[in-house]
A and B are shown apart, each in its own frame.
Chain A
């Protein structure tokens, strides 16, 4: 259509510079195009030669250098529960905050915003993080710290909101604001061991190190059970050389259901703490109420430990923290742990002190703190031995009765001292009643804790028998309780070869040999439960992480140590001790219990140092639990005060835990006792007793009765609803677990019983509409 135009133009330009130039260009670009196409062909050839010459080698190399991204997935360490399912220890999922400096520097404008987010929500110092990025620009993995799930959530919402705001704002801005670079700070799964009770049962539970190994107590003893296996996420190559990913899930550790009862445990610890607060600095200034104070509460029909506490405590969540103790108390702790204060005396070695460098002083201080910590972590109840004193008289008497060398009703003449041996070897040991107890019966000998009578019994019993029974009561052997760090006492008791007459005589009243608390109470439980020695234990069930039972740990009877008739006599004698003997102060109001006091001189510690104790059982008519209170080196002026304090401590504990255990009052209350109970917010439970007795007689056939069945619950059933009623406060209980149905007013949270009623009332009030409104 435009043909007429084209030739004209061509004609116009024929022979012009334009045409000649175009010809030149055409000639040149043909060569160029050919050259380029050849170059392209050469590059394809080059690519092919790389594949041909190095293909196989490079294929291998590519696969070799893949790390297969093998990533460990941490396992969750098993929890530790008390007998009612309350958490004592568990592993909480937390997150390591990982800083990737090189990623952050990729986007330098965003660093400031990112740091703001990190410091606002995760609480890390902005300047510290900025410095780190500056100093380590290549670093891709630096753990800033650990945060909880909530903090992580907060941070992630922060980023989201911030970036959304910035995006919105940037729409109307010339220079764009940077958002947060979410890749420069990321999170890595981790678990943190948490102890909700803090100091609760610290000595029994133990703690875990940062790398997840258990230290002390249950954590160490059951370390392999609690420990799981890390999972792994990794890549591997299939037959077709393709990279596949796979995940081996982690195996979580097993959960321990302990025999501890956190309520009883808490009561014990509160009383220990109260004792310490009352007596700290009483005799020796600024020191604690005693070097060590320990309580064990045990179910005598199974060997289950209901509570095991020893003061001083420590915080399981921060076991290295000593801030709750004063410097002098730390000194005291360190000294007990074997630290000797080698501060050079002033004056003579002043120059020497000057020469002591700062490092040396620091090292010394650190060793002092470390000694103090180690002593703090040690479980006094199982890891420290002492001379038990008079509480062991019960074992001597039981042994002699069981061996048939003495009988109930035998009488002994105490003149205040006893001399034995002949000639130059003659030794005289005094009774603590300087002028003698006179002629007393066997029962009175126990009640009055008469040393002379016990030595006479010892003479009748003889060395061989004494040692045999001592061995039967497990002294000198470990009880094999399932806790780490139980002390060996084999060398701390006498044997045939090193026991002379003096040793035998002192041993009859508990001096000269060493025991641990757990040995003593386990043996004592066998005296009052019919003569059966149970192996004490802390864990009754092991469950997997899904809640399925892996193992039930049943009570183990090791042997019968004394006959049932001897056991009955011992119960009677021990009741006598509390009724009219040395232990009257240990009786909780409204109850009748049995027990035995003990005061032992601490050998090698000077005259003023004693170990005082009370070991008892309750209730008198049907012993269920044994309790053992030991105050090691009480901070009191006299021995009598110390012994009295052990009794009072025991009474305070029993007063609160007996109603909780559904053991009701049997004894009439005096006016003073009523007032005392009122002050403590406890009720007279005598009325409930008739029901309780019925239930016990029903179940007598199947003794020993396990504590947890709490037979009286079944009897106290509300007719209308069919729920069980808690006799303490009238709340409905879940028939299976025994936990109050009205969730928040738990008896675990309240030791007085008082406020529970108030809570119930409150609930009713809130439900009723106020007519005035």
Chain B
């Protein structure tokens, strides 16, 4: 260390801000643990149904995205803190947010790619990106930058609704254009909870949001029920049907409405038991569970590694969440604190939604499990967020 400090390079760094220290090893350790579990499970679930001569095609793509993610972490970690602040500053955060929302609109252009009836990807050269993932990181930076810059403004009515409106607009756009409720929920959740964290008020917001959630859920459930009672299930949109599926996944009427996926996921979890069937020995992944390498990967983990594996995964994700929280506490400025809070919320909300869907604790909607599910853009942007958290940690560690 002493020697390192003496080098020219380091002196330049010191002038720029803070020293390069080892990044937070707890977060990195948990991240690598999740990535390894993810890689094993992706191979396990995809090799059987892949081409015989290219059984690791999914794994290779995922590892490439994760490698890019690691490069992003390193890059962000080495950036001066001012640059991070600059991104959350006045022109940049707006450019970022509008840019990300623009990418959502790109879905409506020929660049958009449709898979299984949903247009959720844009194709840029060799890469396919989900704009929703960009919006997640953009809203996180925007809200953090906005609140940190304006300070007390968030406690005014104008400030509060400004932030809330930006969040709602972004979530609404993602929901409307890519027809992706889960991403909209995550974007909304991140924004709303970050605003909630920065305001002094407790009761008004809690009551307000609780009221909206209860009313919304009650409305949807009652609409689904009334249609069911009237025997007009077919006229319902699939979201409402999925509520009925959630209530009774064994009802054969809903077999093709997602009940199949939910039910097969439950079978996988249930049949895994405490110790699981052994890695690679799952049966349900063989053409039974749709999207088993993606949204439903938690069910494959449960089947093959049992409750033990599930607990390990949840512990690692929990570690990430708690560590983000700790780094938020230690952060030296509001901006860094809010960045860590946002990333914590992102990881936590996405994990909770995913596991709730797979365990049929809530109606089915497509969410991937952070750092584990197959999906390049999700992994890349989540890791970039981890890079932000690590950078904030480096700033506060001097």
Contacts and interface: CB of A to CB of B under 8 A. Distances in A.
B337 A22 contact: yes
Interface string B354-376: 01100101000000000000000
B269 interface: yes
B329 A47 contact: no
Interface string B106-118: 0000000000100
Interface in A1-59: 1-2, 6, 9, 17-18, 21-22, 24-26, 28-30, 32-33, 36-37, 39-40, 43-44, 46-48, 50-51, 53-55, 57-59
**Max chain B CB contacts within 10 Å: which of A26, A50, A54, A61?**
A50
Nearest to B114: A108
B377 interface: no
B220 to A, nearest CB: 22
A571 B160 CA distance: 124
Q: Tell me what chain A mostly uses at the interface: helix, strand, loop, or mixed.
A: helix
A51 B307 contact: yes
**Max chain B CB contacts within 10 Å: which of A33, A106, A176?**
A33
Q: Tell me what chain B mostly uses at the interface: helix, strand, loop, or mixed.
A: helix
Given A40-B351, A54-B266, A25 B283 contact: no
B341 A47 contact: no
Contacts of A239: none
Interface string B265-299: 01111111110010001011000100000000000
A475 to B, nearest CB: 66
Given A17-B151, A50-B266, A25 B337 contact: yes
Given A40-B314, A174-B125, A21 B151 contact: yes
A363 interface: no
B31 interface: no
Interface stretch (B56-64, B66-74, B195-203): B195-203
A154 to B, nearest CB: 19
Contacts of B268: 58, 62
A18 B307 contact: no
B392 to A, nearest CB: 13
Interface stretch (B85-93, B129-137, B223-231, B318-326): B318-326
Given A21-B152, A37-B321, A40-B351, A29 B328 contact: yes
B267 A18 contact: no
A183 interface: yes
A246 interface: no
A29 B151 contact: no
A57 B263 CA distance: 13
A174 B283 CA distance: 41
**Max chain A CB contacts within 10 Å: which of B152, B317, B341?**
B341
B236 interface: no
Given A2-B398, A17-B152, A36-B352, A25 B270 contact: no
A243 interface: yes
Contacts of B125: 174
A58 B338 contact: no
B329 A26 contact: yes
Contacts of B274: 51
Given A32-B193, A33-B344, A50-B359, A40 B317 contact: yes
B348 A36 contact: yes
Contact of B283 (A53, A62, A106): A62
A57 B270 contact: yes
Contact of A50 (B116, B269, B288, B314): B269
**Max chain A CB contacts within 10 Å: which of B271, B281, B311?**
B271
Given A28-B197, A61-B267, A242-B281, A40 B318 contact: yes
B334 interface: yes
Nearest to B198: A25
A65 B281 CA distance: 16
Given A43-B314, A61-B267, 19 more contacts: A18-B334, A22-B333, A26-B328, A29-B325, A30-B329, A32-B193, A32-B197, A32-B341, A33-B344, A40-B317, A51-B306, A53-B270, A55-B271, A57-B270, A62-B268, A65-B267, A65-B288, A182-B51, A243-B283
22 contacts: A22-B333, A25-B334, A25-B341, A28-B196, A28-B198, A29-B197, A29-B341, A29-B344, A32-B197, A32-B345, A33-B325, A40-B348, A43-B356, A44-B314, A48-B307, A50-B359, A51-B273, A58-B266, A62-B271, A66-B283, A174-B125, A242-B281
